[in-house]
Chain A
Amino acid sequence: MQFNKQSNIHPVRRTVLKFTGAMGALATVSVAGLMRAGEALAAPWNKGGFESKALEEALKSLGAANMIESKDIVITAPDIAENGAVVPIAVTSRIPNTQSISILAEKNPFPLAASFDITSGDAYVSTRLKMGQTSNVRAVVKVDGKYFTAVKEVKVTVGGCG
């Protein structure tokens, strides 16, 4: 029996650290018409922000200037991520009237990973990120036109014996 030569069981193990390259081509991605789910309700996709390579630019796209460090923003994430391709991140804002939570992996080639407008009455969101290397993960919270922020460092190792 021969295994399928077309298949490749382990590429991820070797390429996970190469997200710098992997995500480098975002600028060339054609974004189909900025189509959004629930179009009537949703704001257009923040193309400029998601395609910013510099953290400052990404923050600017969110409108975030003069951010205030806040202990009322809690980032739950592993100190060490076993697998940079799946790094769990949860953000809770205890600041009243939180309108949105954005998540940035500062050393990713495109730092802005996600933004959530939250109107559920509980400013909490949990998701999973690709991270190319050890980096600060930053949460930016918008409250009545003001911006608050917190960071947590996540160490990324690839692991395995590859």
Chain B
Amino acid sequence: MAEAMKIRAILQGDTADVRILIAHPMETGQRRDATGKLVPAHFIQSVVVTQNGKTVLDGQWSQAISRNPFLGLRVKGARNGDKIVVTWADNTGGKRTDEAVVSPG
């Protein structure tokens, strides 16, 4: 069960500064655990961010993105109260969606 993302969406002028933290192992598939066993690849491949239902960022990741990933973006023409929804999906079928509301800086 994936943990909730931390999403901040702060309005600066007419632009929302969106900062997303995701709890995810981003395993490369070649790391060995303490017992010497390979930890299977497990990483986010897709992150989609929408503003009031409209896609503003459609991202694709490899396992070169760090564990517990961070994603920052800026949304022009945003307003207080706009709904920012973030959805990620990983290579094992895991996915999660969380949302935040644009608020004043």
Contact = CB atoms under 8 A, between A and B. Distances in A.
Direct A/B contact, Cβ within 8 angstroms: yes
Interface of A: 6-8, 11, 15, 19, 21-26, 28-33, 35-38, 41-43, 45-46, 50, 85-88, 90, 105, 108, 110, 112-122, 124-131
B70 A38 contact: no
Given A114-B60, A122-B74, A38 B41 contact: no
Contact of B28 (A6, A19, A112): A19
B6 interface: no
B77 interface: yes
7 contacts: A6-B34, A26-B28, A26-B29, A50-B62, A114-B60, A117-B59, A120-B74
Contact of B64 (A43, A105, A120): A105
Contact of A125 (B46, B72, B77, B87): B72
A35 B76 contact: no
Contacts of B73: 116, 118, 120, 122, 124-126
B76 A120 contact: yes
Contacts of B87: 37-38
A31 B63 CA distance: 12
B63 A127 contact: no
Interface residues of B, number: 46
Contact of B75 (A7, A19, A41, A122): A122
B101 interface: no
B59 A115 contact: yes
Contact of B63 (A23, A32, A90): A23
Contact of A35 (B30, B63, B65, B93): B93
A127 B29 contact: no
Given A31-B45, A32-B92, A125 B34 contact: no
B91 A8 contact: no
A117 B57 CA distance: 6
Contacts of A126: 70-73
A97 to B, nearest CB: 13
A32 B48 CA distance: 18
Contact of B91 (A21, A31, A85): A31
